[in-house]
């Protein structure tokens, strides 16, 4: 056999060994990184049941779902009316920007506006989409109750104390906020008139 | 699919044969061989029925949750079947017996061991479970009461009273009782290590890959070492 | 590949600040290795591989393991439950845990082969005495790490193994009682013991990694021994480590992984030798298992311990049997290294290997009168081997060693 043939066989073996070695290394990474994903029991514990009738009119309750805080607000007719009239000041009026802010049941303009299956009960993830702080609930309009922590034309909603993001009473982010998106809506469904299963 | 299942079953049988043999050699009494197939959904489900109807009267298997009965494809119950089994218990709860451990101690003088790990935790494994269930006899010395003398239990005196009514069974019942004992041994073998079938399948791929890698590295080594003059 | 990387600008930048090129040359591409090393010389790199695997799998297990002996339902504990959660609920947890458990045993398989090779070919003799002594330190730390680790699942063998070993120290006069208390943090093995063993089980591999670095450094100063056991003087007797031995080691690694993965995937308990049957039973401080023996890799020393009627003598003999390894380079006075040219030493050292296996077998089996005598004879030979070494050159006629290889 010629030297050249030897050389080409040697190169082939080098490439084959290197390729297989890379496959082996890649395959080894899978179980190790995989083990850091939520374990089966953690995944199974990812549903929360809650009775919305325990939230009084106009009040906000923070509950836990998958270790994250969740807002449940009982919106009065007055609060529901505050949803209208400031569409031009919102980043994502119809909650369409990313999948996390919408759900299948948002099939009418009404539901996209109220962002709730039952308009009076708003249920959203309570983490500011900027860096995860919990925004403060400042439901009434104007600066009367909140001083200059809110803008002059405040329509009522949430104010994030960390970096000053604003959300309206449907948890839609207001222009000029560092937060990029509306507060996330997680999957949930009513199993009875007042009982919801979140997750 | 059929091929995968065949390979799975063949490998499982081979390995279990080897390991149970090795374990059995350490034990005392002679154990009967149990025909156990951890890839056989029907056998495991029959074993589950024996487990819930008979064993769970006293024993728990806390590491197998009701959710697991749905999630492990080897058992694969539907949500409705699991709901019926668990009654008021949570889906996340282990299979806990309704008899409290304290009451069991009062009634039988001993806490019934949890059965989640009974197969890997006993010399002889599935064979031991099978032989124990079919090992009840009358005490040759006539001292131990019936139902407390077992030919494979260490020391022969066992607190667990003959669970499948093996003692004094009719001749024509023997086959069915043996089947029950084998089925529950299969179920217990499976829950002792519920990822064992996945493990063996992945193992086949890993071994195949490593054979190729070893061969290539061997040829490469030989090739490069041709430079070395001895 | 390597030479291409070494020509890049990035490498030049790094080299200027770390002298990387000189290190690579002196340690790999121009590091002279004897050209006649046989496959027994592969076990060093394999030991390094298993050490890395153990540390890696261990780091991921710790993400889920909980060192607590607090009781949970059904006679189990938090620690035992967390291990079962790894086996059942954590993604690939079963794989990582089996890799770790099998890896512990394979570590000893590989290291015992490595030590045996060193003894057979006289690798411990001048100028490699310190290299050998560092190796013995590694062995002791490994045994410690394995012992601490075995307690963590909190099964029956974990508990009773730890109880027996910590009670050994009670044999030491005056201080024994306090040493025992320092180890267990109480008056019997319990929750404090589990916590400190967990801490130490994490510490020891880090020590191990550092000392292995020292072992390799010492090796690269005095260079490898070879099957002929002679000093090499001519350049044509050596070849650069890279690519020849890196490729040979890579082949060895793949071949080893065949065995390792077969056990991990198809027989992780190894018939009760790697994971003992009784360790699937939760620890019970009121009931000792019918048959209790340490894991296989500690059984030779366990037999030495059991061979003496007096507890103190047994403990002293066991300690002595490990300590004597430190002075092996100074006991062996022959000018010839390799057993190939030492007919008497060859017989003695092969008998020594068989002897250790016999000791291991006796330690693993339930004690009987016959096995006790066998164990005592094996113990006697173990020490006889070492004590005979200084006198061996007086009677042994060595064969002429070759000039070169």
Mean pLDDT in residue range C260-278: 95
ipTM of the prediction: 0.93
DSSP assigned state of A122: E
Helix (H) or strand (E) holding C209: helix C191-222
The pLDDT-based confidence of A5 (bands split at 50, 70, 90) is confident
A35 vs C1, C93, C250: nearest CB: C93
- Lookup result for tokens 């035992």: C80
Please, which residues bridge with residue A197 across strands? A49, A189
Mean pLDDT on B32-57: 96
Ligand-binding annotation for C223, yes or no, is no
> Are A83 and A9 part of one and the same domain?
no
Secondary structure element (H or E) that encloses residue C260, with its range: helix C241-266
Q: What is the CATH number of the domain that holds C221?
A: 1.20.810.10
Beta carbons within 10 angstroms of residue B170's beta carbon:
7
- Determine which of B35-49, B178-192, C121-135, C300-314 has the lowest per-residue pLDDT on average: C300-314
A78/A100 same-domain check: yes
Nearest residue to C55 via CA among C233, C206, C227, C281:
C206
Angstrom distance (rounded) from CA C94 to CA C113? 28
* pLDDT (0 to 100) of residue C173: 86
Same domain, A68 and A147: yes
Show the tokens assigned to C399.
């064969």
Provide the pLDDT for residue B13: 54
Q: Which helix (H) or strand (E) holds C343?
A: helix C343-364
**Do A21 and A92 have their domain in common?**
no
CA A59 – CA A71 distance, rounded (Å): 10
What is the extent of the structural domain holding A116?
A: 44-198
- Strand ranges (DSSP E) for C65-182? 71-72, 76-77
Kindly report the average pLDDT of chain B as a whole number: 88
Select from A17, A34, A41 the Cβ nearest to the Cβ of C89: A41
Q: Which two tokens stand for residue C238?
A: 């050596």
* Distance (Å, whole) CA C84 – CA C90: 9
CA dihedral C333, C335, C338, C339 (to 10 degrees): -60
Which range marks the domain in which residue C219 is found?
42-234+242-290
Mean pLDDT of B157-183: 93
Cα dihedral: C41, C43, C44, C45 (round 10): 100
Residues from chain B contacting residue C288 (CB–CB below 8 Å): none
Give the tokens for residue B7: 């390979």
- Interface check for B65 against chain A (CB to CB < 8 A): the answer is yes
Q: Is B204 part of any known ligand binding site? A: no
- C60/A36 touch (CB, cutoff 8 Å), yes or no: yes
Residue A142 pLDDT level (bands cut at 50, 70, 90) = confident
Looking at the fold, whether C93 and C220 belong to one and the same domain comes out as yes
As for how many domains chain A has, the answer is 2
Instruction: Please check whether residue C7 lies inside any domain of the structure.
Output: no
SS3 state of residue A188: strand
Q: Are strands C238-240 and A60-65 parallel, antiparallel or unpaired?
A: unpaired
Among the candidates C250, C266, C290, a domain finishes at C290
Which among B223, B224, B225, B228 is the top mutation candidate for probing chain A, defined by the most A β-carbons within 10 Å of its own β-carbon? B223
What's residue B4's pLDDT?
Answer: 52
- The alpha carbon of residue C403 is apart from the nearest alpha carbon of chain A, in Å, by 33
Q: Within 13 Å, how many C-alpha atoms sit on residue A117's CB side?
A: 20
Q: What is the CA radius of gyration of chain C?
A: 23
- Separation between Cα atoms, residue C76 and residue C153, nearest integer Å: 11
pLDDT at C118 over 60: yes
pLDDT tens digits for C270-300?
988 999 999 999 999 999 998 888 899 999 9
Question: What is the sign, positive or negative, of the torsion defined by CA atoms of A79, A82, A87, A89?
Answer: negative
B21, pLDDT greater than 60? no
Q: What are C121-141's pLDDT values in tens digits?
A: 999 999 999 999 999 999 999
d(CA B62, nearest CA chain A) in Å? 14
Nearest to B47 by CA among B162, B186, B209, B168: B186
**What is the Cβ-side half-sphere exposure of residue A182, based on CA atoms within 13 angstroms?**
30
Q: Tell me how close the Cα of B180 comes to any Cα of chain C, in angstroms.
A: 25
Q: What is the pLDDT of residues B59-85, one digit of tens each?
A: 999 999 999 999 999 999 998 999 899
Residues 6+ apart with CB under 8 A from C138: C111, C208, C211, C212, C215
Q: pLDDT for C198-220, tens place per residue? A: 999 999 999 999 999 999 999 99
Residue in C316, C315, C391, C379 with CA at minimum distance from that of residue C352: C379
- Amino acid C143: pLDDT: 96
In this structure, the answer to whether residues C366 and C313 fall within a common structural domain is yes
Q: In sequence order, what are the residues at sequence separation of 6 or more whose Cβ sits closer than 8 angstroms to the Cβ of residue B104?
A: B58, B110, B111, B112
Q: Among C222, C256, C290, identify where a domain stops.
A: C290
In the DSSP assignment, the letter for residue C7 is T
For residue range B179-226, list pLDDT tens digits in order: 999 999 999 999 999 999 999 999 999 999 999 999 999 999 999 999
CA–CA dist A132, A162 (Å, integer): 9
The H-or-E segment that residue C180 falls in is: helix C176-184
Indicate which CATH number applies to the domain containing A145: 2.102.10.10
The answer to whether residue C56 is domain-embedded is: yes
Any catalytic annotation for residue A130? no
Is residue C2 included in any domain, yes or no? no
List, for residues A49-65, the tens digit of each pLDDT value.
889 999 999 899 999 88
A97 and A26 inside one domain? no
Q: What is the pLDDT of residues C329-351, one digit of tens each?
A: 999 999 999 999 999 999 999 99
Looking at residue A184, what is its pLDDT?
93
**Contact at 8 Å (CB) between B193 and C87?**
yes
Could you tell me the two tokens for B116?
Answer: 């989640």
For residue C344, the tally of other CB atoms under 10 A from its CB is: 16
Residues of chain C neighbouring B211 (CB-CB closer than 8 A): 258
B10-24 as b/e: b if 16+ CB within 10 A? ebbeebbeebbebbb
**DSSP string for residues in chain B:** -HHHHHHHHHHHHHHHHHHHHHHHTTSSS--PPP---TT-HHHHHHHHHHHHHTGGGT--EEEEEHHHHHHSTTT---HHHHHHHHTTS-TTSEE--SS-HHHHHHHHSSPPPPSTTTTTTSTTHHHHHHHHHT-B---TTS-SPTTSBBSSSTTSB-SS--TT--TT--GGGHHHHHHHHHHHHHHHHHHHSTTHHHHHHHHHHHHHHHHHHHHHHHHHHHHHHTT---
Residue C262 lies in a domain: yes
Q: Which of B71, B212, B226 sits opposite A20 (nearest CB)?
A: B212
Both C212 and C110 in one domain: the answer is yes
Residues C53 and C133 in one domain: yes
Q: Is residue C280 part of a domain?
A: yes
The percent helix, strand, coil of chain A (3-state, each to 5) is 30, 20, 50
* Angle subtended by helix axes C93-120 and B196-225, to nearest 10: 40
Instruction: Indicate if C218 and C303 belong to the same structural domain.
Output: no
Give A151 or C324, the one with higher predicted confidence.
C324
Q: Do B224 and A10 touch (CB under 8 A)?
A: yes
Contact B226 A9 (CB under 8 A): no
Å between C9 CA and nearest CA of chain B: 29
Rounded-to-integer distance, Cα A34 and Cα C89, Å: 12
**Residues A137, A71: Cα–Cα separation, whole Å:** 10
User: Which chains reach chain A with 3 or more Cβ–Cβ distances below 8 angstroms?
Assistant: B, C
B211/C contact by beta carbon, under 8 A: yes
Q: Are A139 and A82 part of one and the same domain?
A: yes
- The answer on A106 and A27 residing in a single domain is no
**Catalytic annotation, pick one of A86, A130, A159, A163:** A163
Residue length of chain B: 230
Q: How many domains does chain C have?
A: 2
Considering only CA atoms, which of B48, B36, B43, B9 is closest in space to residue B125? B36
Percent of chain A with pLDDT over 70: 99
- Please say if the pLDDT value at position B18 is more than 70: no
H or E element in which residue A41 lies: helix A40-44
CA torsion, ordered B154, B159, B165, B171, to nearest 10 deg: 30
Residue B26 has pLDDT above 80, yes or no: no
Partners of residue A21 in chain B, C-beta under 8 Å: 213
Q: Which fold has domain B2-194?
A: Cytochrome Bc1 Complex; Chain D, domain 2 (1.10.760)
Contact C88 A30 (CB under 8 A): no
C88 touches chain B (CB under 8 A): yes
Mean pLDDT, residues A184-188: 92
Q: How far is residue B141's CA from residue B135's CA, in Å, rounded to a whole number? A: 16
Which residues numbered 17-36 in A keep a CB inside 8 Å of some CB on C? 17-18, 21, 30-32, 34-36
Least confident of A1-15, B3-17, C117-131: B3-17
Asked if the model's pLDDT at residue B1 lies above 80, the reply is: no
pLDDT value at residue B6: 52
- Ranking B2-11, C23-32, C97-106 by mean pLDDT, the lowest is B2-11
**pLDDT, mean of residues C367-389:** 95
CB contacts < 8 A (A, C): 39
């Amino acid at each position: 056999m010629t030297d050249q043939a030897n050389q080409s066989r040697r190169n082939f073996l080098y490439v084959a060994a290197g390729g297989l070695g890379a496959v082996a290394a890649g395959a080894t990474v899978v179980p190790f990184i995989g083990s850091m994903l939520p374990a089966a029991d953690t995944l199974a514990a990812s549903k929360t049941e809650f009775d919305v009738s325990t939230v009084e009119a106009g009040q906000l309750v923070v509950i836990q779902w998958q270790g994250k805080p969740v807002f449940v607000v009982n919106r009065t007719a007055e609060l529901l009316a505050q949803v209208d009239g400031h569409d031009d000041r919102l980043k994502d009026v119809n909650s369409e920007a990313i999948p996390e802010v919408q759900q299948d049941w948002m099939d009418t303009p009404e539901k996209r506006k109220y962002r709730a299956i039952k308009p009076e009960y708003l249920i959203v993830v309570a983490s500011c989409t900027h860096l995860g702080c919990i925004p403060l609930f400042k439901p009434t309009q104007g600066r009367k109750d909140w001083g200059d922590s809110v803008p002059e034309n405040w329509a009522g909603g949430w104010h994030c104390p960390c970096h000053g993001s604003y959300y309206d009473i449907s948890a839609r982010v207001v222009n000029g906020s560092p937060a990029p998106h509306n507060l996330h809506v997680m999957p949930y469904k009513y199993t009875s008139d007042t009982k919801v299963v979140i997750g | 699919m059929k091929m995968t299942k065949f390979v799975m079953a063949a490998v499982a049988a081979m390995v279990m044969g080897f390991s149970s043999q090795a374990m059995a050699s350490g034990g005392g009494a002679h154990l009967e061989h149990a025909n156990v197939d951890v890839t056989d959904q029907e056998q495991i489900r029959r074993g589950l029925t024996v487990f819930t109807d008979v064993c769970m009267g006293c024993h728990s298997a806390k590491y197998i949750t009701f959710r697991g009965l749905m999630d492990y494809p080897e058992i694969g119950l539907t949500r409705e079947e699991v709901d019926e089994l668990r009654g008021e218990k949570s889906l996340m709860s282990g299979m806990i017996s309704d008899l409290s451990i304290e009451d069991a101690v009062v009634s039988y003088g001993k806490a019934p061991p949890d059965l989640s790990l009974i197969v890997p935790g006993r010399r002889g494994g599935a064979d031991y479970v099978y032989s124990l269930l079919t090992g009840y006899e009358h005490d040759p010395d006539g001292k131990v009461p019936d139902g407390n003398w077992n030919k494979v239990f260490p020391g022969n005196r066992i607190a667990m009273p003959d669970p499948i009514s093996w003692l004094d069974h009719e001749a024509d019942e023997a086959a069915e009782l043996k089947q029950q004992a084998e089925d529950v041994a299969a179920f217990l073998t499976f829950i002792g290590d519920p990822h064992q079938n996945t493990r063996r399948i992945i193992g086949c791929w890993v071994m195949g890959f490593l054979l190729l890698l070893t061969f290539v590295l061997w040829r490469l080594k030989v090739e490069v070492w041709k430079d070395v003059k001895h | 590949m390597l030479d291409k990387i070494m020509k890049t600008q990035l490498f030049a930048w790094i080299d200027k600040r770390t002298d990387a090129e000189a290190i690579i040359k002196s340690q790999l591409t121009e590091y002279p290795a004897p050209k006649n090393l046989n496959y027994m010389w592969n076990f060093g790199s394999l030991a390094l591989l298993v050490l890395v695997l153990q540390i890696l799998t261990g780091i991921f297990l710790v993400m889920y393991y909980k060192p607590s002996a607090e009781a949970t339902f059904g006679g189990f504990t938090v620690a035992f439950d967390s291990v079962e959660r790894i086996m059942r609920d954590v993604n690939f947890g079963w794989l990582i845990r089996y890799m770790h458990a099998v890896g512990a045993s394979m570590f000893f398989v590989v290291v015992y082969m490595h030590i045996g090779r060193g003894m057979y070919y006289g690798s411990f003799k001048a100028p490699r005495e310190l290299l050998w002594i560092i190796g013995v330190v590694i062995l002791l730390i490994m045994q410690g790490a394995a012992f601490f680790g075995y307690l963590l699942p909190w099964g029956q063998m974990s508990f009773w193994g730890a109880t027996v070993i910590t009670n050994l120290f009670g044999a030491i006069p005056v201080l024994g009682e306090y040493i025992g208390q320092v180890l267990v943090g109480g008056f019997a093995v319990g929750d404090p013991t589990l916590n400190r063993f967990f801490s130490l089980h994490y510490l020891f591999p880090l020590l191990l990694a550092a000392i292995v670095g020292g072992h390799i450094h010492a090796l690269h100063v005095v260079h490898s021994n070879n099957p002929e056991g002679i000093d090499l003087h001519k350049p044509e007797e050596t070849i650069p480590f890279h690519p020849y031995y890196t490729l040979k080691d890579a082949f060895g690694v793949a071949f080893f992984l065949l065995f390792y993965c077969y056990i991990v995937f198809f027989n992780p308990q190894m018939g009760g030798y790697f994971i003992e049957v009784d360790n699937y039973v939760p620890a019970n401080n009121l009931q000792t298992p019918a048959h209790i023996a340490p894991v296989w890799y500690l059984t030779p020393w366990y037999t030495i311990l059991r061979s003496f009627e007096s507890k103190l003598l047994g403990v002293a003999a066991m300690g002595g049997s490990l300590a004597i390894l430190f002075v092996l380079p100074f006991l062996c006075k022959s000018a010839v290294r390799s057993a190939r040219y030492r007919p008497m030493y060859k017989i003695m050292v092969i008998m020594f290997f068989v002897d250790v296996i016999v000791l291991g077998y006796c330690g693993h089996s339930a004690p009987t009168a016959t096995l006790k005598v066998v164990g005592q004879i094996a113990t006697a030979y173990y020490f006889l081997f070492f004590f005979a070494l200084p006198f061996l050159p007086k009677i042994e006629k060595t064969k002429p060693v070759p000039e070169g290889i």
